[in-house]
Structures are given as structure tokens and as C-alpha cells.
Amino acid sequence: MELFNIVNIYSGKLIPVFIRIAAMFSFIPFLGAKATPMMFKVGLVLALSIFVAPFAKVNPEDPFRAILDAIFVGMSMGLAARIIFGAVEMAAQWISLQMGFGLAAVFNPQFGETMGPLNFFYMFLTMVFFFALDIHHHFIEGIVRSFEIEQVQYKTIFQTIINLNALLFPLAFKIAAPIIVVQMLVNIAMGFLSKAMPQANIFFVSFPVLLAIGFIFIIASLSLTFMLISKAFLNMKEAIFLFTR
């Protein structure tokens, strides 16, 4: 009964808040994935909407503008997170190709495309960092703060997304660089060995060596990966706060 009263009191605010949170979740991996049950996604968005609605300031005189702002701001905040996850996914794809995991790709129901096993590992790792660093709290705070601004600055949000998008390739390169450099050196060494010993089948020797060295350097570079992803999430946090100025 108490929940019904809350929904009844804040019904005018609940729809814009629900749309804003749903648009944001649609870009966040795992939470907005196709494989995630629809009932879970709707229930989570509705629960957050009920939690945020009492603090939201919605203009009841212009509901169309409120819904339009909700869609735009929600998608922008979700896209800010998607850029970081996209960079990690790109780095994992480069590492998979260097290690020879290109043929071990499997179908990813989240985006309807194939992904290598390392892609899943890095994506799950990034999602763990996402919750361990309390980044989801900043999204909730950003949603509440976004209702405090009198007018959404579309130009500022566009510019912030473009600036954040400029981090995508450098972040992916920094994450994958240690493993790629080592794999290239191993390939060069195997090339010299093949010239020195043409009768030996270097291909069957190099493949397990590449895998072993690749896994060793992936584990050794996890601290660097954690630092890079943490800095990227801090940039994303600043971008979210820029949306709500």
C-alpha cells in the first residue's frame, strides 16, 4: 500500500525518470544486454525510478520537453559508459588476434556479434571495476542532478561526448600495448628461428608459446589495466557531472 501511495504521489515525475534511467541502462553492458531478462531490467529500472522520483524536479507544464530531455540525457550518460567499455573490448580484440584466439570466437547475444574468450574476460573485469569503484553511484547521482538544471545544454553534452570519445583509441592501445609488443617480439624471434632451422615446424611450436607468454603478460599487466580503467572511469564521472551543470 505504501508503494502504491508513492507511485500515486510521484506519478507525474515517474515517467520522465523511468525513461531517463531506461535510456541510460540500454547502453551499459550486461545491464542493458539482450540476454538479460526483460523482467529483471524493467524491475531494476522501476525500482531506481521510484527511489529517484522524490528527489527529481520535473516541469509539469511541458511534459513533451521533459520526456525529450530524459531520452537525450539518459542516452548521453549511457553512451559515456559505453565508450569506456568499447575501448576495453577493442583492446581485448587486438590481444585475441595477436594470441591466435581469432578462430575461438563465440556468438555474443548482447550485441549480436562474435567475440573471443578474452573479450568476455576483459568485459567482466571492467564490469567488476564498475561496481567495485562505485561508479554506479555516480550514475544515480547524475540522474538526480540532471533534474536540477533548468535547461539541458545540448551543445555542451555533444561536445563532452566527443571529447570523451577521443579517449577510446588511446585507452584501448594502452591496455593492449604490453601484450602486443611482447607477442610481436616472440613472432620476430620465431621468424629468425624458422630461418635458422627451416626443417623444424615452428608454427606448432610458436602457437603454445604465444598463448603461454600472452597469459603471463595479461596477468602481469592487470595492475596497469586496473589503473587505466580507473582513470577512464574518473573521466567519465567528470563527463557525467558536466551533463548536469
Half-sphere exposure (Cβ direction) of 107: Cα atoms closer than 13 Å:
4
C-alpha pair distances (Å), 129 with each of 134, 179, 193, 229, 244: 8, 21, 41, 8, 24
- What pLDDT shows up at residue 209? 79
The runs of H, that is alpha helices, within 133-221 are: 135-146, 154-165, 168-196, 202-220
The pLDDT assigned to 213 comes to: 84
d(CA 152, CA 66): 10
Which of 79, 3, 2, 16 minimizes the C-alpha distance to 47?
3
Question: What is the model's pLDDT at position 113?
Answer: 52
The residues that bridge with 114 in the sheet, in sequence order, are: 107
Grid cell in block for residue 146: 540532471
pLDDT of the residue at 1: 46
**Residue 107 phi, psi dihedral angles, 5° rounding:** -75, 130
What was the pLDDT predicted at 132? 81
Q: For residues 214 and 216, what is the distance between their CA atoms, to the nearest angstrom?
A: 5
Burial annotation 45-63 (CB, 10 A radius, 16+ → b, else e): bbebbbebbeebebeeeee
User: Three-state SS for 221?
Assistant: coil
Neighbours of 108 (CB within 10 A): 18
pLDDT in single tens digits along all 245 residues of the chain: 455 555 555 566 777 778 888 888 777 776 666 666 778 777 878 888 777 777 777 666 666 777 777 778 778 888 888 888 888 888 888 888 777 766 555 545 544 455 667 877 888 888 888 888 777 777 777 777 777 776 777 777 777 778 778 888 888 888 888 888 888 888 788 777 777 777 666 666 777 777 788 888 888 888 888 888 888 888 777 777 776 66
pLDDT at 34: 65
Give the three cell numbers for residue 18: 523511468
Residue pair 118/99 in contact by the 8 Å Cβ criterion: yes
